[in-house]
């Protein structure tokens, strides 16, 4: 695992190291129960293909998702019936809906996070904004800054179309900002909606049904900063070491294109296998950067973006993890679906619950862990993290 010197460190964060100081989340009002999704989706898209319906029903069971929040509603389809029609240019309508929706969710998640942080919004010095669900100029960072009342001199960074790895990529960027700007406080906000890619079923696009069965909407937020103020801020996790790695010649494995009909995604069948084949080397590399190459992964906690059950199952098998190690990821997938960049925030919240549960049961205190996500590229994001919750 990590070196003995690092392991001997107290629960107090290391001076100058970035920490997560608060978490927040928000969702649209529409809650979808997985058991009712198939009939609703085929009704909304005026499709009666029995074979496609059976296929989606099977996928809904295998994803392990039980509930999800979505922006899409009967009211939106009444106002924009063309969204459910094949071959109609609808990018303008989709962006009108998405741009407003992701801004509102990002505002609500940020406000939730800032409230938990306990300091005024005027103390935020930097903003990192992440989304793969909008496209405009100026970007969503400006509308979020205005919506929560950030001061005009707040330094902003946007990460667009980073997909499922966007949340951890944003966390890596926020860590760098916090550690290189003493006294800074960084708001990381992520916001996503599937309306940008909503389409009717088509026999020529069977992979679309995977997205219908798996993806959800929402927003997440974190406050990141170094050298927490005693009695004012409560650091939750120390972000010790962060790395990124892309796999050459895999850019078609997660393929997304913005077209006249919205965004079209193709997830290759090989994706879980590719992650399984490379996750061991990536984790080893991250541990070596931190000063130790030993592998004792069952003595660590795991906050993994749940791209789908197949990815979690293969990672668990490859690293020989005990079944409970991915509980937080599986719970997030079950309750929210794969909400793209947001999902790591939900995983981290569940991870806090899991760590406290282990502690209460007298099973020791899991201090060190890994935050992982996988996105287009294929890109691996990883952060070696310390649990600071006493």
DSSP percent split of the chain into helix, strand, coil, nearest 5: 45, 25, 35
Active site residue 164: yes
Can you tell me the distance from the alpha carbon of 301 to that of 120, in angstroms, rounded to the nearest whole number? Answer: 32
Buried b (16+ CB within 10 A) or exposed e, 29-43: eeebebeebbeebbe
Burial class (CB in 10 A: 0-12, 13-18, 19+), 50: exposed
Catalytic site residue from 60, 113, 164, 283: 164
- Kindly give the pairing relationship between strand 30-33 and strand 67-70: antiparallel
Q: Are residues 163 and 376 in contact, defined by beta-carbon separation less than 8 angstroms?
A: yes
Closest CA to 91 of 148, 135, 149: 135
Task: Dihedral sign for Cα 350, 353, 358, 361, please.
Answer: negative
Paired tokens of 189 = 């906000």
Paired tokens of 137 = 């100029």
Q: Which H or E run contains 186?
A: strand 186-192
SS3 state at 245:
strand
Q: Which residues lie closer than 8 Å to 194 by C-beta, 6 or more apart?
A: 70, 71, 72, 133, 211, 215, 216, 217
Task: Dihedral sign for Cα 44, 46, 52, 54, please.
Answer: positive
Q: What is the DSSP letter of 36?
A: H
Catalytic machinery residues: 164
């Amino acid at each position: 695992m990590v070196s003995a010197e690092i392991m001997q460190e107290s629960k107090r964060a290391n001076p100058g190291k970035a920490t997560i100081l608060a978490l927040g989340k928000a969702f649209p009002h529409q809650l979808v129960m997985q058991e009712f999704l198939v009939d609703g989706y085929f009704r909304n898209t005026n499709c009666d293909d029995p074979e496609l319906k059976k296929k989606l029903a099977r996928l809904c069971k295998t994803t392990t998702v039980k509930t999800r929040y979505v922006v899409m509603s009967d009211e939106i389809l009444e106002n924009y019936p063309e969204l459910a029609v094949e071959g109609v240019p609808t990018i303008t309508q989709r962006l009108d809906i998405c741009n407003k929706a992701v801004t509102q969710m990002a505002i609500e998640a940020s406000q939730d996070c800032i409230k938990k942080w306990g300091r005024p919004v005027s103390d935020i010095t930097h903003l990192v904004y992440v989304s793969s669900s909008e496209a405009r100029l100026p970007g969503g960072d400006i509308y979020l800054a205005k919506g929560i009342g950030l001061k005009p001199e707040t330094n902003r960074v946007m990460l667009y179309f980073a997909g499922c790895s966007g949340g951890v990529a944003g966390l890596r960027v926020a860590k760098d900002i916090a550690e290189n700007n003493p006294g800074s406080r960084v708001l990381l906000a992520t916001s996503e909606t599937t309306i940008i890619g909503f389409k009717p079923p088509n026999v020529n696009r069977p992979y679309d049904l995977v997205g219908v069965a798996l993806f959800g909407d929402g927003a997440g937020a974190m406050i990141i900063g170094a050298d927490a103020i005693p009695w004012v801020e409560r650091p939750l996790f120390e972000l010790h070491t962060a790395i990124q790695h892309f796999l050459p010649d895999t850019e078609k494995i997660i393929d997304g294109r913005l077209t006249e009909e919205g965004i079209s995604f193709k997830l290759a069948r090989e994706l879980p296998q590719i992650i399984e084949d490379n996750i061991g080397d990536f984790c080893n590399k991250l541990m070596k950067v931190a000063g130790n190459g030993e592998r004792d992964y069952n003595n660590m906690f795991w906050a993994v973006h749940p791209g789908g059950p197949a990815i979690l199952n293969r990672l668990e098998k490859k690293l020989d993890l005990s079944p409970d190690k991915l509980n937080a990821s599986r719970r997030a997938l079950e309750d929210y679906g794969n909400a793209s960049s947001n999902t790591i925030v939900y995983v981290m919240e569940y991870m806090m619950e899991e760590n406290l549960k282990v502690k209460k049961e007298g099973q020791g205190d899991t201090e060190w862990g890994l935050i992982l996500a996988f996105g287009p590229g294929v890109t691996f994001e990883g952060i070696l993290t310390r649990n600071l919750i006493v």
